[in-house]
Structure 1
Amino acid sequence: MARADIKVGISPYGADDERGALNKMTGVSQAKILARADGSHVYDLSIDYFVGMPSFQAAGDPAYQIFMSHTPAGTAVDNLNGVGDDVNGRVCYSGDVIFMYTHTGTHIDALNHFGVNGKIYNGFTAEDSLGSRHWMRGGAEQIPPIVARGILLDIAGLKGQECLPPSYAITVEDCQQALEQKGLTLEEGDVALVRTGRMAFWPDGSKVLGNPPGLSLEAARWITDQGIIAIGADQECVEVGPSQHEDNWLPGHCHFLTEAGVPMIELMNLEELARDDVAEFCLIAAPIRLKGATGSPLRPMAMPLIS
């Protein structure tokens, strides 16, 4: 196995920068793509959250849970809001609490999610920037609402397959051929979305998760060389698994997040885009502003472009 030899990227936008490649997104670029968007058809690229949903638990992280904290009948009994039986008998009050790993379901990885030798993107160190509860740098709150040109690299479609085989390493040539097939090129400021076909099996966790087909490190580096601002895929880690590199168990994560400053979007539903042959679109996505968090749930949407 080869070595990945990932290095910590230093931002060209200054010593305090926490946005990385997202700095390429500007008001001008957002207005340009919005002007081309066909709002009559909006594709929801996210998945539902529910008890028992497939999620990454291999490293001991919790599964998604939801609990009622208030129910109409219960509120009438416990009167926790203090307004009394008469009001609680008339007003039906419900409330709930969710508990989950921040990398559950359709979500975006912040730049502090992975690092190398104690440093995350732009050289922030654990000693200086990691508090008792969360990182003080590179958190999910630093990710602005993304409004950009999205490009679908449908590798499963290119191969004529419903889903790529487990652990298939997507090559540079695969990416180039997928683009050529649609007559498209990746441009600076784009968001690249890679379809492996895994979402065709959702929510069967035995087929959606584990040994994912995904980008090889060489393909990941080629894609970031095109100037993208974010990368996404329909499986759990964007990159191929298990790792092809002896010195790094998730080299793609370390490349995108630590080396290139490119946020990663995982577990996207790209099936409808592929079905309708929508390879170029306006992508709109915004994370929850979880201060210091390494990731956040995301609701990405795609709108076809007007010719």
Structure 2
Amino acid sequence: MSQTADVKVGKSPWGPNDERGALNLLDESVRADVLQRADPSRVYDLSVDYFVGMPSFQGAGDPSYQIFMSHTPQGTVVDNLNGVGEHVNRHVCYSGDVVFMYTHTGTHIDSLNHFGVDGQIYNGYRPEENLGSRTWTKGGAETIPPIITRGVLLDIAGLKNVDCLPDSYAITVADLEEALDKAGLALQAGDVPFVRTGRMRYWPDGTKTLGNPPGLSLDAARWLTTQNIAAIGADQECVEVGPSEHEDNWLPGHTHFLAEAGVPMVELLNLEELAKDGVQEFCLIAAPIRLRGASGAPMRPLAMALRKNA
């Protein structure tokens, strides 16, 4: 374990009122380029289903995913809450649901207010002025725009010729460079790299998909942000390696990406079909639920392979 991570809160180059961080790199030219090259013959859904009993963070004290019906066809007949009577309620069959969950359940994106350093979140926002009784007023999930850009698969499990990287394997800068070289790609400003460890092949077995994750070392995380990426993602629960390699910071990757570099993080992606089909660069289209002030939100990322000769 090294001595310190030495992560500091970052100031946005887009000004003192910025809440989007690196997502500001997603301009019209980035969107136009990737959309015109997208092959719509197959759309890859990179998200997971939500269901009762799914792996989540109950061990950290967060609630498990729950869904229950607030209205059923037969119950509507009995309750007659709408006041239209039995005959109409037997004719019109009404169902409704309620969902209760931790916002970091399943495939989701971390907002920039999720982690901070020394009492501040990205761009110097402090809780004394910007944290209410319910949510932050800065850096929440509602500030994340639709993400339409080039995605790049960094298949580290494939690079190592294993089904899944070993527990707590720290992905290095050399691993990332070798994966890019093998794919014949280089990262460009506004790209979103997705790191495959192989963990999602075991989903939804929580004993194999959560805990002691292989993931990015802090050096690898810092190298990625020097490439001007817009966001980062992985097929495990925290993108970075766990447990931490740094004694002063239990999630140095989170504090670097979110608080220092302003780079949102997408977690628990299903990258298995992309890897199986050898799709290494793709048009990424993704957006979270606009939960105002939330530290994260469910996301359904979609991918379409890019035509090579477009």
Q: Deviations over 1:190-224 (max 9, x none)?
A: 00100000000011110000000000000000011
Letter in 2 for 1:177: E
Match of 1:92 in 2: 93
How far 1:27 sits from its partner (Å)? 1.3
Secondary structure, counterpart of 2:208 in structure 1: helix
- Give the secondary structure class of the aligned counterpart of 1:15: coil
Write the distance in 2 (CA, Å) between the matches of 1:217 and 1:58: 25
Aligned twin of 2:177: 176
User: Aligned-pair distance for 1:140?
Assistant: 0.1
1:270 and 2:271 are equivalent in the alignment: yes
1:58 is matched with which residue? 59
Residue 26 (structure 2) pairs with residue 25 (structure 1): yes
Identity between Structure 1 and Structure 2 (%): 72
Q: Secondary structure of the residue that 2:59 maps to in structure 1?
A: coil
For 1:210, the aligned partner's letter is G
In structure 1, the residue corresponding to 2:60 is in which secondary structure?
coil
Q: How does 1:277-292 map to 2 (within 5 A)?
A: 277-292=278-293
Report the 3-state secondary structure (helix = DSSP H, G, I; strand = E; otherwise coil) of the residue aligned with 1:58: helix
- Write the deviation string for residues 166-187 of structure 1: whole angstroms up to 9, x where unpaired: 0000000000000001111111
Aligned residue for 1:203? 204
Partner of 1:154: 155
Q: How big is each residue's C-alpha offset from its partner over 1:45-64, in whole Å with a ceiling of 9 and x where there is no partner?
A: 00000000011222200000
Q: 2:285 matched to 1:305?
A: no
Tell me the residue number matched to 1:82: 83
The residue type equivalent to 2:208 in the other structure is K
Q: Which residue of 1 aligns with 2:73?
A: 72
Structure 2 residue matching 1:73: 3-state secondary structure: helix
Displacement of 1:262 in angstroms is 0.2
- Amino acid of the structure 2 residue aligned with 1:77: V
Distance 1:41 1:180 in 2: 26
What is the deviation of 1:273? 0.4
The aligned counterpart of 1:193 is: 194
Following TM superposition, where does structure 1 have runs of at least 4 consecutive aligned residues deviating by more than 4 angstroms? none
Post-superposition Cα deviations, 1:75-117, rounded to whole Å, max 9, x if no partner, equal 0001122221111111000000000000000000000000011
SS of alignment partner, residue 33 of structure 1: helix
Q: CA RMSD in A?
A: 0.6
Q: TM-score, normalising length from structure 1?
A: 0.99
**Distance of 2:58 and 2:11 partners within structure 1:** 32
Q: Distance in 1 between matches of 2:160 and 2:100?
A: 39
Provide the C-alpha distance between the structure 2 equivalents of 1:288 and 1:109, rounded to a whole number of angstroms. 12
CA distance in 2, matches of 1:13, 1:187: 19
Amino acid at match of 2:300: R
Give distance in 1, aligned partners of 2:58 and 2:150.
Answer: 33
What's the TM-score, normalizing by structure 2? 0.98
Matching of residues 222-237 of structure 1 within 5 Å: 222-237=223-238
Q: Match for 2:28: what amino acid?
A: G
**CA distance, structure 2, for counterparts of residue 240 and residue 50 of structure 1:** 26
Q: Indicate the residue corresponding to 2:132 in structure 1.
A: 131
Partner-residue secondary structure (3-state), 1:67: strand
Amino acid at match of 1:183: G
- How far apart, in 2, do the equivalents of 1:243 and 1:213 lie? 11
> In structure 1, how many angstroms separate the alpha carbons of the residues matched to 2:121 and 2:60?
20
Matched, 1:245 2:229: no
Gaps of 5+ in 1: none
State whether structure 2 residue 6 is matched by structure 1 residue 5: yes
Query: What is the aligned length?
Result: 307
Find the aligned partners of 1:98 and 1:234 in 2 and give their Cα distance. 24
Cα deviation, residue 143, structure 1: 0.2
Distance (Å, rounded) in 2 between the aligned partners of 1:156 and 1:83: 59
**C-alpha displacement of 1:68:** 0.3
| Partner Cα distance (1:56, 1:280) in 2 | 31
Structure 2 residue runs of 5 or longer lacking an equivalent are none
Instruction: Indicate the residue corresponding to 1:144 in structure 2.
Output: 145
Partner of 1:16: 17
Q: 1:46 is paired with a residue of what secondary structure?
A: coil
* Cα distance in 2 between the residues matched to 1:182 and 1:117: 39
